[in-house]
Amino acid sequence: AVFIGHPILVDDQLYGVVALEVEGRTESALQDVVQRLGWGIGWLEALARRKTFTSKARLVTVLELIATALQHERFQAAATAVVTELATTLGCERVSIGFMKERHIFVRALSHSAAFGKKTNLIRALEAAMDEAADQLATVVYPAPAGGPFQVTRAHAELSQHHGAGAVCTIPLTAGGTVLGALVLERPVGEAFDPRTVELCEQAALLVGPVLDVKRKEDRWLAQKAADSLRMHWRHLVGPRHATLKFWVALAVLATLFLAFADGDYQITADATLEGTVQRAVTAAIPGYIAEARARAGDIVREGDTLAIMDDRDLKLERQKWVSQRAQRSGEYREALADHQRAKVRVLEAQLAQAEAQLALIDEQIARTRIRAPFDAVVVKGDLSQSLGAPVERGNVLFELAPLDTYRVIIKVDERDITHVAVGQDGYLALSSLPHEKVPLVVDKITPVSVVEEGRNYFRVEAVAKGAIEKLRPGMEGVGKIEVDQRRLIWIWTHKLLHWVRMWVWSWWP
């Protein structure tokens, strides 16, 4: 036996191989077999080339239709251009396209027609044919080809008989198993749709249909888009699938019901600062110069502790002067008294009294050069260590002191929440330096004047700190919460947003 093999090549691309087993042949007979095999291979190659050319031509046609749909920005122009080009390419008398809306397909474009009446008998017949093909989810050809599957073609028959179409082909437009619309092609009498043309139309509908559907959806009004989106989600919600969506929607509904009927503590939260109940200013009692600084801001001092010392050298010299004058006048006084000079005695007595008064005044001034704490306190403000030798005038504030046993909390309440605050309400203060300790407080005073800070208005609410306050210091900052009353949770979480919306609507309402 002799084995003969021959490849089938089309444009240097291998399509297949022919293999023969020949028995009992002479050499001349084998050459004849090889020659006949070559002729047969040539016929197969020609057939493959023709098939490849046909496939490429179909692909080019479909791509041209897609390009036509994409080059138009608006849906109506794109749909009209596509059906017109399809009618010209396939030699159809009329091509129409429709899209699904509320379980029915409505015609949206006709070939060679920029506008058409939507209530005419022709349009109704076309829509009936589209619905007929969509209900069967299959391509419907009328007249039905011999040997084809059984199909309902009543609407197609009426379209052909009453509107002059010799042959009708309707192809559903689908995407992901969902019917988007339908494409109807009509030819004159005597020109039926062959299987190749039907296949080309199906390929075109498969690719062009979703493109036009996207353009159709983009051309809708915003309200219509929202309504269609809600309708789609509702179908998903009540349909047999989308269990995850149903779970989250049910969870959201339960959460909303809980928030709508459950109560919670309504608290007003705002920035807060700690201050002493009384802040005493320590001033310079006499003019002079700073000689020594023994305390500064943040130090804890006890009653009588020295905060600073002023230079007293000039006062001591002045005192020495008056001591000398007193001694001199005292000697003169004794001499006048011994000489019985009564007039001079009276003058010297007055001068001695003046010297004593001056000495008492200077002693008091020297005592005042030592600046002392009037009570147990913490130094809130003041640092003279950088001002040694600097002059001060009488009345200049050198230190500010706050007592250690009582504090007040200044809460900056936003103007939107101030109407809910009342004297006597309880609350808590969390300080940045003591975040784990909550300091109880009671609202004591509401300042009726707002203050502008960082672009917002707030009211100054004073509260008294209670409980253990050993670790507290004036100047500490944190967050204060004032307990108002019990409110619905949904109101607590949304009242600020609702307030903003009401103000915005009112500001724009004519």
Same-domain pairing of 110 and 156? yes
Q: Which residue has the higher pLDDT, 9 or 87?
A: 87
Listed in order, strand segments (DSSP E) in 190-305 are: 263-276, 280-283, 288-293, 300-301
Q: Is residue 208 in some structural domain?
A: yes
By the 8 A CB rule, do 276 and 330 touch? no
Q: What whole-number distance in Å separates Cα of residue 154 and Cα of residue 244?
A: 42
Q: What whole-number distance in Å separates Cα of residue 374 and Cα of residue 74?
A: 86
**How many domains are there within the chain?**
4
Same-domain pairing of 326 and 209? no
Q: What whole-number distance in Å separates Cα of residue 69 and Cα of residue 478?
A: 63
The Cβ-side half-sphere exposure at 381, using a 13 Å CA radius, reads 11
Q: Could you tell me what percent of the chain has a pLDDT over 70?
A: 94
Q: Is residue 271 in some structural domain?
A: no
Q: Could you read off the pLDDT of 469-480 as tens digits, one per residue?
A: 677 777 889 999
Over residues 77-102, mean pLDDT:
91
Q: Is residue 331 in some structural domain?
A: yes
Q: Is residue 319 in some structural domain?
A: yes
Q: Could you read off the pLDDT of 154-186 as tens digits, one per residue?
A: 999 999 988 888 899 999 999 878 899 999 999
- Both tokens assigned to 146: 């011999």
Same-domain pairing of 96 and 36? no
Name residue, tokens 């309440």.
413
Q: Is residue 24 in some structural domain?
A: yes
Q: Is residue 66 in some structural domain?
A: no
Same-domain pairing of 318 and 396? yes
Same-domain pairing of 340 and 429? no
Same-domain pairing of 101 and 27? no
- Both tokens assigned to 232: 């789609």
* Helices and strands counted in the chain (H then E): 10, 21
Q: Is residue 75 in some structural domain?
A: no
- Amino acid at site 164: G
Q: What whole-number distance in Å separates Cα of residue 156 and Cα of residue 151?
A: 11
Classify residue 488 as exposed, middle or buried by CB count within 10 Å of its CB (0-12, 13-18, 19+): middle
pLDDT score recorded for residue 185: 93
Same-domain pairing of 382 and 417? no
Residue 346: which CATH number? 2.40.50.100
Least confident stretch, 47-51, 315-319, 386-390: 47-51
Same-domain pairing of 380 and 437? no
Same-domain pairing of 362 and 447? no
Give me the domain span that covers residue 303. Answer: 280-400
Least confident stretch, 32-41, 178-187, 194-203, 364-373: 32-41
pLDDT band at 272 (very low <50, low <70, confident <90, very high): very high
Same-domain pairing of 432 and 379? no
Q: Could you read off the pLDDT of 19-29 as tens digits, one per residue?
A: 877 776 677 77
Q: What whole-number distance in Å separates Cα of residue 235 and Cα of residue 103?
A: 13
Over residues 65-87, mean pLDDT:
90
Q: Is residue 349 in some structural domain?
A: yes
Domain end among 171, 190, 220 = 220
Give bridge partners of residue 408 from the DSSP assignment: 275, 464
Least confident stretch, 107-111, 450-454, 481-485: 450-454
Over residues 106-120, mean pLDDT:
88
Same-domain pairing of 331 and 312? yes
Residue 463: which CATH number? 2.40.30.170
Same-domain pairing of 96 and 177? yes
